Amino acid sequence: MHEVAALLAEYDRARTYTDELWKDLSPDEVTWRPHENSSAIGWHLGHQAHVAHFMIRNLTAAEPSPDLELDALMDSAQPERFRGALPTIKRLTAFRETVAERVHARMSDIAGGRVAAPGQMTVVATHLLTALINHEYQHDQWIGEVRAEALGHPLPPDPDTDRVLRLDGYLVLRAPGS
């Protein structure tokens, strides 16, 4: 149960790092696409939340989407050139916040034993949160590259935690015991 709480803190740290990569950008920079077969920073922001919602929904608790219209748009199976227009920054931010609240609620229920099969669900929760954290950082890499190389903005420092390292240039959560 303690590990789920610690991983939730790392999930929040990863989301905070994501926010440091984009919140100071203009709406035009967030929605700009380097080319037709590339995604905007805003798409990556929505996709991170979309994946978190689907993982929580499919692995721990069936629940409706917080924004059905965004589901197809934020699905990586949809080719970039067919993804359509991005929602407003306000809507993207609300989507990300709602999903994060749901992640916290469900993981807290699991950590608190307020689910059927709490031991089994704790194992699922630790792996799920590890995947969500690493997925957040995976897309942060692309966001950071566009931010720095294409838009000319400096990068924030890496997250201040001993639980994260760089592997092949990507931030990743350290495996337990490493």
* Residue 133 belongs to domain with CATH number: 1.20.120.450
Nearest alpha-carbon partner for 103 in 160, 71, 63 = 63
The answer to whether 86 touches 31, Cβ cutoff 8 Å, is yes
Nearest alpha-carbon partner for 13 in 176, 158, 131, 174 = 158
Q: 100 is in which domain, residue-wise? A: 2-173
The helix (run of H) or strand (run of E) holding residue 146 is none
Encode the chain (178 residues) as per-residue pLDDT tens digits. 589 999 999 999 999 999 999 999 999 999 998 888 889 999 999 999 999 999 999 999 888 889 988 888 898 988 887 777 899 999 999 999 999 999 999 999 999 999 999 999 999 999 999 999 999 999 999 999 999 999 999 999 999 999 999 999 999 999 776 6
Q: Count structural domains, the chain.
A: 1
Does some domain include residue 178?
Answer: no
Q: What is the pLDDT of residues 134-165, one digit of tens each?
A: 999 999 999 999 999 999 999 999 999 999 99
Does some domain include residue 32?
Answer: yes
